[in-house]
């Protein structure tokens, strides 16, 4: 009986700390990074090409791959190919496309605006791995090969810990 009272005493006086721990769950930020889909290379002088038919198909495929991910924001650079790649996923999530400057990448403002959210970022063969590397504070990932439009980088930040994963989906 004495041990039962002791157990009850411990439980009753620790309930506030249990509920506090439940309320203080750590924020988790998850970034999904992809490169734009296949672009039209027929005009070498065009610095802002659209997607090819294969690229449009890939953009739709990305939105299907992400069908079970609830994004809070979708970011793109202001180039036709990244906008066209990001749009199907943004539309499925009923989100307005947001833009980032590929020369700035992971700024304090971006970090603060996306804290605790699930975010898709569409970039380029050089900016996508560079963006991931800035979050990781490590030059882990090289530029993406120009023929590769299927890399998916997933970076999660929780309780100060950063995890990353890269998949190639072709």
pLDDT at res. 166: 98
Residue 117 located in a structural domain: yes
Mean pLDDT of the chain: 89
For range 90-96, the mean pLDDT:
98
**Dihedral of the alpha carbons of 148, 150, 153, 154, in degrees to the nearest 10:** 180
pLDDT at res. 25: 60
Starting at the earlier edge strand, list the strands of the sheet with 151-158. Answer: 98-99, 73-76, 118-123, 28-35, 151-158, 161-168
Residue 159 located in a structural domain: yes
Q: pLDDT tens-digit profile of 64-79?
A: 999 999 999 999 999 9
What share of the chain in percent tops pLDDT 70?
85
Q: Which domain range does residue 126 map to?
A: 27-168
Residue 105 located in a structural domain: yes
pLDDT at res. 1: 46
Residue 9 located in a structural domain: no
Q: Domain tally for the chain? A: 1
What share of the chain in percent tops pLDDT 90?
84
pLDDT at res. 12: 36
For range 95-112, the mean pLDDT:
96
Place of tokens 């009986």: 1
Q: Model's pTM, two decimal places?
A: 0.85
CATH number at residue 86: 3.40.50.1240
């Amino acid at each position: 009986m004495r041990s039962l009272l002791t157990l009850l005493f411990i439980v009753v006086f620790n309930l506030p700390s249990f509920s506090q721990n439940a309320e203080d769950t750590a924020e988790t930020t998850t970034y999904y990074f992809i490169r734009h889909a296949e672009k039209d290379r027929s005009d070498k002088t065009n610095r802002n090409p659209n997607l090819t038919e294969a690229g449009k198909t890939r953009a739709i495929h990305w939105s299907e791959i992400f069908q079970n991910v609830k994004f809070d924001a979708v970011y793109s650079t202001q180039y036709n190919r990244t906008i066209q790649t990001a749009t199907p996923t943004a539309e499925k999530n009923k989100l307005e496309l947001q833009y980032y400057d590929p020369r700035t990448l992971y700024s304090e403002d971006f970090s603060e605006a996306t804290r605790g959210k699930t975010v898709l970022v569409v970039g380029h063969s050089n900016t996508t791995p560079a963006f991931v590397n800035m979050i990781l504070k490590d030059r882990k990932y090289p530029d993406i090969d120009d023929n590769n439009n299927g890399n998916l980088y997933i970076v999660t930040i929780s309780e100060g810990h950063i995890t990353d994963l890269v998949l190639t989906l072709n």
